[in-house]
Amino acid sequence: MSKVNLNNTEEKELLYRSLRGEKEAWGEIVKRYKEAVYGVNLSILKDEAEAEDATQKTFIKAWQNLEKYDMDMKFSTWLFTVGSNISKNIVRKQNRWSFIGKMSLVSGNDDPQDKIEKEKKRKGIRKALFDLEPKYRAPLIMRFWGELSYDEISEILNVPQGTIKTRLHRGKKKLKAVYQEVGLNE
CATH number at residue 141: 1.10.10.10
Domain finish residue from 101, 124, 145: 101
Q: Mind listing the pLDDT tens digit for each residue in 2-32?
A: 344 455 788 889 999 999 989 999 999 999 9
Predicted confidence (pLDDT) at residue 97 exceeds the cutoff of 60: no
Domain span holding position 158: 110-186
Rg over CA atoms, the chain:
17
Predicted confidence (pLDDT) at residue 116 exceeds the cutoff of 80: no
Q: Mind listing the pLDDT tens digit for each residue in 52-77?
A: 999 999 999 999 999 999 888 889 88
Query: Structural domain tally of the chain?
Result: 2
Of 66, 53, 58, 61, which is closest to residue 21 (Cα–Cα)? 66
The reported pLDDT for the residue numbered 131 is 74
Q: Tell me, yes or no, if the pTM score tops 0.85.
A: no
- Contact present, 182 and 127 (Cβ < 8 Å): yes
Give the residue with greater pLDDT, 98 vs 164: 164
Residues 35 and 65 in one domain: yes
Predicted confidence (pLDDT) at residue 44 exceeds the cutoff of 90: no
Sequence-ordered list of residues with C-beta below 8 angstroms from that of 180, at least 6 positions apart, any chain:
none
Domain finish residue from 39, 71, 101: 101
The reported pLDDT for the residue numbered 34 is 92
